[in-house]
Every structure is written in structure tokens, then in C-alpha cells.
Amino acid sequence: MLAVQLAELLEGDAPGAAEALDLVAGFDDALVHGFARLGEERALALTALAGALAGTPLGPRAGEAAGKLAAGSVAEEHLTVLAGGRAALLGAVHDDLLARLDTALGRTRETWDAAPAPAPVPDNLLSGCRSWLHELAITGWRGVDHDLVSSAAQVIEALLAEPALRRPAVLLDGLAAELRASCPVATMDRLPARRWADLWTRALLLARPGGLPAASGRSVSGRLLILGADVHEHGTAVQIQVHGILEPARGGPALLVRAGVAAAKVDTIVGPAVWRLLGAFPVLLGALAERRSLEINDMLLLHGGDLVWHDGRARPGEPADPFATARVLLAGALAPAAPPLDRHPVRIAEPVLVEGYKTVTDHGITLDLGGGTLAVDVDRLPACGPLTPELVAASTACVGLVRWDAGRWLLQPLAVQATVKRKPVEAHNGDWALGPTDPKAVKAEARAGDAVAVLRERAGRLLRR
Amino acid sequence: MNAERAAWERSSVTRVVSPVQPRKLAKVPFVELADGRLQGVVSSGSDIERVYVSSIGAGTHGFSCSTNNNRPCGGLHGSPCKHLRALVDEAVLQYGVHRVARYLRVDIDEDTASGAALVSRLNGSLAPTPAAMVFSRFLRHLAYLELPPSAEPIAELHWFPATGAVR
């Protein structure tokens, strides 16, 4: 990302985005207090949200739903329609933000033309999920107590047991854990209103009949050059999302792709130990740790740009420096379209290379790039890798993801080149994929012991009785 | 301050739960603050097949300890046994003393903040709780490690960035 590109990105406000987000905030406020106690002001906010959708296919149904909800009839179908309206508004904001980013970066993006097809999943499991979400909406976050949170336990357990429902399962489990930790919510002095409404909305959309899209794409082969690893984690799940550039064996433009591998975990497995849960993907982890390219053969590439990782169809290639990959190939790579359901600003995670900046460490870390400033999202430096705020502050080049949250653009570092004690150092999120390489981290891990092994032993002894 | 609060409330990735600190799990494999209790499972020191289910109620401080087969712990004589002490110590390591004290509603001095200090401030008495419920939560906890890994993208996890608070 060049100084002129950043300047273009930061220039001016997106027309309509603030208004759209205000309408979303109105819906979020209804969820805070509960749809059973809407009151006049919040009912008006729902009517306004429906009004904004008037010119869309959702319009008539949204208008009807807002009316019914305002009149006190909190039916599941009305909630679902308005949740869809909220998602559509955020989808529009997402599209606008991504288009601005693409324009600034000069990035070419494919258009989405795949026909949506629902995944074949058992609806009886999802109906339990919908009931709980319905109950939450009626009660509102302020009314959530231990009993309401606990009532989701069986539903979540059943969802987790069905691999095809991993998406809603992981989402609901994360939401339930946050609500449990916040109980009784009525005593909290502030609420993560946008966040919880986001999670609730996505869960409801995934849980409606036919809501979960089937995986569809095409087979690809070629050389995969890794840019970096983004780590997602909550108490009971971890996902490593690898960003890379695929040079198709058949020729054609290089493609910006991602590959996500995920595992279930428990909250006491933290830091570098999470890599041990992904032992089923040794080739991918090896490539991260050794900074190698990968030769992949006949792997499914989804229309959204995600490889469905099949470790047996990948073999390690030559050493490849992610900074070199970013310098040489990133500018010309073709970016994938976002799947319709996933269109939300939170999913914007565009790889960039930033260099020639000055770091400013005052209220966090900011990069000054030719006068334009980009805040570094230091909260997103994962404990399972070697990146620290100090390294980022000392850095001179960074491969990272451009993100957007709460009205501003942010840079999430995936790798940095820095100068520490007058020596050049380089650190990547995936460096410890096969175990920590830093003596301090090795010691810390030895001190804590092997959490995964201890729990597996306990599970072996106590679980199958 | 107001701007900061507004940004917090309008952030999609606001952090609600702090990640827990790593600790040795051999003695106390499971600790949680849930259902209005500090509760967990403590491995027996003498019998590898046996575990104790221990809990302390928030506010009331009523405590209990029994085996997973519902036999009362022999060390429980009107005051917390060694299993309950171990439970508190490990909870303090996992969550930090302040979060545990806040959850149990115990007032502690800044200077003497430790698991032992916390136990000394408990003013509850023996209050049997269903060990089976806590034990089944532990089994459910263990069952996560039996789930197969997944190679399909989970877009929803973008709402859950890994953080590096633990350093």
C-alpha cells in the first residue's frame, strides 16, 4: 500500500454509510431492551429501518414486519425479515467499503455469479437454535440471566456434533459464552450492542431453513505462495486463516486465496498450544513454520476464494519469503468476490504490504505513511505467534490485513520486518506453527505443561464409560 | 470518554471475555465461573480414576465437595477442604484474583490479593450442590477435544480475533 493509495482510501466519507449504520443501531437498541418492551422510540427506529428497504425486494415484508413488531406481536418470521434487513444494510456498507479499498489499491475483484444452493442439513437441530434466538430477542440483552444462557446448552451440543453445522455451532457457542460471562447482563454498565446484534443476526440467518449455503467451487492446482496467517479464536474454537497467492497450473492470473483450518478447543488451551490442535494439517503448518510455498493438486476452491484444505493434496515446495511474494505478486493478483451471506464489514481482511512508514506510539501504534495515518490493530496480535506491539513499533515493513471497524480503517499485522538492537529481525504469525522458536515462549510453554495432553488423558479415562 | 464508549458499543469486535491465562491442568483440569458458582473438577491425589467435584456459590459462599459418584469428600469439616483450596488457587491463576473475587462477591485487599486470602474471606457453610451437573459440564468440556477439525471456512470467526493479552 502506497502513500497515495492510503490517502485515497482515507479521503472523504462514504455517502449514506453513516445513515445506514444509524438504522442498524436502532435495531441493535431494540435487541438491548427486548422486542417485548419496544416502546415508541424503538418502534419508530424499526419502521425507519424498514423504510430504508422500501425500494428492495425485502421492502413490503420488512414494512409489515416492523408494523407487527411495533404492535407487540413478536413472531419469528417478522424477526427474521428485519434481521435480513439489518444484514442487507451492513452488506451495502461492506460493498461500499470494499469497493473504496479496491479502488484505492487498484485491486481487481471477481464478481459473484454463483447461484445460491442451500446445504442439506437437518432442520430439527436448527429449529432449536431459532427458538433460543427468538427467546433472546423477546427478552433483550438486559434481561439475559443464567437460566436463559444455560437453556442453549443442549442445542449447541447437538449442533457441534453435526460437522455440516459447524458454522452456526461455533457462532452460538461464542455468543453463549460471552453472555454467560456477562450474567446478569442487567448489571453491566455498557453493552457490546453492535457486536451481539451482529452475532444474533448472523446466527438467525444461518439457522433459517435453507439459510446455510452449500460449499461450491471448482478444482484448482498450482503453486500457493503464503502471505501470512490470521488467527481467530474464542474459548472453544480456533481457526487459522492463511492468506496466499495461487499461481494456477493451467495459467491465467494469480489468485488471491485463503485457506482456513479450524479445531474445537477449550478455554484453558491458549497461546502456542493451539497449534497442537491442528495436527491433522502437517503440510500446511510446516509451510507456515518453514516459510515455504506449497504445491497443491486438485483442491476445491470455493467461489468466495477459500480453498477447502486437503492436506494430502499439498506438498511442501521451495522456501518462499512472504515479503517477496507481496512485493512481486500482490498488486496483480485477482481478488475473489465475497459470498452474499458473508457481506459484513467485519469480513473485510485485504492483504497489503506497507513499507516506508514511520511508527507513532502514542495511544496505541499508528503508521504514518507520507502524512496519511493508519492505526495498527494491536489487539489482533495473537498469543500463538511471535508478533508483539514492541516489534510492530520497531518495524519498517509489514504484511498485514486492512480491516474496518467502528468507523475507521485499521491495519492488522501478519508479519513484520524490524530493527531490534541494530539487527534486522523478521516475525510472522505462523512462525510457531510447529512449536515456539523463541526461548522465552518455549520456557513459558514448558512451565504451563501440555494442556492438550492432560485433557486428552482425562477424556480417555472419564469420557467413555 | 463518551466518544470512546460510543466506539466500543459500535464495534463489531469489542472484546467481551478476556482470554484466560495458561496454567498447569494436571491437578485441577477444569475450573469455571458459571451458573452463579465457582465450580470445577479436582483430580484425586491417590486414585487416578477418581475426581472431586468442588464448588463455591457466588454471594452465599456455600461450598461443597464430593466425588463424581456423589460420595462426600472426607476432608470437608465445616471449612473448605484441600480440593476447594486448590480450586480457588487455580481459578486465581486462570482468571486473575480480581475477576474471581468479583464473581464470588468477596472484598479483598489490594495488597493481599491471593487465593489463600480469598478463601479466608469466605463466610459460607456447607451447601450441597448437584455434583452430577458440574461433572457433566466437565465431560462436555472434554468432549470438545473429540470433535474433528474442519477445513471449510468459518466466516463467523472473523468476529472473534485472537488476541495477545497473554504475554
The CATH number of domain A217-335 is 2.40.50: yes
Cell numbers representing residue B8 in the block: 466500543
Q: Mapping DSSP to helix (H, G, I), strand (E, B) and coil, where does residue B109 land?
A: coil
Q: Mapping DSSP to helix (H, G, I), strand (E, B) and coil, where does residue A71 land?
A: coil
CB contact under 8 A, A239 and B154: yes
Q: Mapping DSSP to helix (H, G, I), strand (E, B) and coil, where does residue A402 land?
A: strand
Distance, in Å, from the CA atom of A353 to the CA atom of A1, rounded to the nearest integer, reads 6
Reported confidence tier of residue A464, pLDDT bands at 50, 70, 90 = low
Dihedral (CA of A156, A29, A189, B3) sign: positive
Angle at A420 between CA A417 and CA A424, to 5 degrees: 45
The secondary structure of residue B148, as a DSSP letter, is: P
From the list A25, A174, A309, the residue facing B10 with the nearest CB is A25
Chain A residues whose beta carbon lies within 8 Å of the beta carbon of residue B23: 268, 448
In the block, residue with C-alpha cell 435495531? A27
Across chain A, how many H-helices and E-strands are there? 15, 15
Residue of A nearest to B49 (CA): A461
Residue B83 has pLDDT above 70, yes or no: yes
Instruction: Say which residue, A411 or B5, is predicted with more confidence.
Output: A411
Taking CA atoms, A226 is separated from A95, A238, A245, A325, in Å, by: 26, 20, 6, 8
Q: Average model confidence (pLDDT) for chain A?
A: 94
Beta strands at A292-302 and A306-308: parallel, antiparallel or unpaired: antiparallel
The secondary structure of residue B21, as a DSSP letter, is: P
Of A140, A137, A139, A146, give the one whose Cα is nearest residue A201: A137
What percentage of chain A carries pLDDT values higher than 70? 100
pLDDT digit string, tens, across residues B104-132? 998 887 766 788 888 888 888 888 888 88
pLDDT digit string, tens, across residues A296-313? 999 999 999 999 999 999
**pLDDT for the residue numbered B167:** 42
What percentage of chain A carries pLDDT values higher than 90? 84
CB contact under 8 A, A195 and B14: yes
Asked if omega into A184 is within 30° of 0 (cis), the reply is yes
Chain B residues whose beta carbon lies within 8 Å of the beta carbon of residue A349: 158
Any CB–CB contact under 8 A between A94 and chain B?
Answer: no
From the list A157, A181, A215, the residue facing B152 with the nearest CB is A215
Distance, in Å, from the CA atom of B99 to the CA atom of B106, rounded to the nearest integer, reads 10
Distance, in Å, from the CA atom of A52 to the CA atom of A56, rounded to the nearest integer, reads 9
Query: Domain-by-domain residue ranges, chain A?
Result: 1-106, 118-212, 217-335, 341-432
Beta strands at B37-43 and A358-361: parallel, antiparallel or unpaired: unpaired
Beta strands at A292-302 and A217-234: parallel, antiparallel or unpaired: antiparallel
Beta strands at A372-376 and A408-420: parallel, antiparallel or unpaired: parallel
Any CB–CB contact under 8 A between A132 and chain B?
Answer: no
Of A365, A385, A383, give the one whose Cα is nearest residue A426: A385
Q: Mapping DSSP to helix (H, G, I), strand (E, B) and coil, where does residue B126 land?
A: strand
Cβ–Cβ under 8 Å, residues A343 and A253: no
CB contact under 8 A, A449 and B24: yes
Q: Mapping DSSP to helix (H, G, I), strand (E, B) and coil, where does residue A239 land?
A: strand
Single-letter amino acid code for the residue at A435: G
Cβ–Cβ under 8 Å, residues A202 and A88: no
Any CB–CB contact under 8 A between A69 and chain B?
Answer: no
Distance, in Å, from the CA atom of A351 to the CA atom of A342, rounded to the nearest integer, reads 18
Hey, of A148, A458, A461, which one would you mutate to test binding to chain B, going by the most B CBs within 10 A of its CB?
A: A458
pLDDT digit string, tens, across residues A239-260? 999 999 999 999 999 999 999 9
Beta strands at A306-308 and A255-264: parallel, antiparallel or unpaired: parallel
Q: Mapping DSSP to helix (H, G, I), strand (E, B) and coil, where does residue A130 land?
A: helix
CB contact under 8 A, B160 and A232: yes
Cell numbers representing residue A409 in the block: 480503517
Distance, in Å, from the CA atom of B17 to the CA atom of A183, rounded to the nearest integer, reads 12
Of B56, B41, B155, give the one whose Cα is nearest residue B104: B56
Distance, in Å, from the CA atom of A151 to the CA atom of A134, rounded to the nearest integer, reads 12
Taking CA atoms, A419 is separated from A320, A326, A373, A431, in Å, by: 21, 20, 21, 18
Distance, in Å, from the CA atom of A143 to the CA atom of A138, rounded to the nearest integer, reads 9
Half-sphere exposure of B74 (CA within 13 A, CB side): 1
Distance, in Å, from the CA atom of A40 to the CA atom of A196, rounded to the nearest integer, reads 23
DSSP for A276-321 reads: GGGTT-HHHHHHHHHTEEEEEEEEEEETTSEEE--GGGEEEEEE--
Single-letter amino acid code for the residue at A404: W
Burial class (CB in 10 A: 0-12, 13-18, 19+), A350: buried
Residue A162 has pLDDT above 90, yes or no: yes
**pLDDT for the residue numbered A165:** 95
pLDDT digit string, tens, across residues B21-50? 889 999 999 999 988 899 999 999 888 888
Least-confidence region, from A129-133, A191-195, B74-78, B139-143: B74-78
In the block, residue with C-alpha cell 502524512? A371
Distance, in Å, from the CA atom of B85 to the CA atom of B119, rounded to the nearest integer, reads 7
Distance, in Å, from the CA atom of B92 to the CA atom of B80, rounded to the nearest integer, reads 16
**pLDDT for the residue numbered A292:** 98
Chain B residues whose beta carbon lies within 8 Å of the beta carbon of residue A235: 17
pLDDT digit string, tens, across residues A43-91? 999 999 999 999 999 999 999 999 999 998 889 999 999 999 999 999 9
Q: Average model confidence (pLDDT) for chain B?
A: 89
**pLDDT for the residue numbered A452:** 87
Taking CA atoms, A423 is separated from A354, A359, A419, in Å, by: 20, 18, 5
Q: Mapping DSSP to helix (H, G, I), strand (E, B) and coil, where does residue A336 land?
A: coil
In the block, residue with C-alpha cell 452475532? A199
Distance, in Å, from the CA atom of A369 to the CA atom of A402, rounded to the nearest integer, reads 14
CB contact under 8 A, B149 and A146: no
Single-letter amino acid code for the residue at A231: V
Cβ–Cβ under 8 Å, residues B100 and B38: yes
Reported confidence tier of residue A118, pLDDT bands at 50, 70, 90 = confident
Residue A259 host element (H or E): strand A255-264
Taking CA atoms, A193 is separated from A141, A189, A251, A348, A362, in Å, by: 9, 12, 47, 20, 28
pLDDT digit string, tens, across residues A389-431? 999 999 999 999 999 999 999 999 999 999 999 999 999 999 9
Beta strands at A306-308 and A314-319: parallel, antiparallel or unpaired: unpaired
As for the ipTM of the complex, it is 0.96
Residue B105 CB: number of other CB atoms within 10 A? 11
Percentages (nearest 5) of helix, strand, coil residues in chain B: 35, 15, 50
Residue B49 CB: number of other CB atoms within 10 A? 10
Cβ–Cβ under 8 Å, residues A207 and A126: yes
Any CB–CB contact under 8 A between A451 and chain B?
Answer: yes
Reported confidence tier of residue B166, pLDDT bands at 50, 70, 90 = very low
Across chain B, how many H-helices and E-strands are there? 5, 4
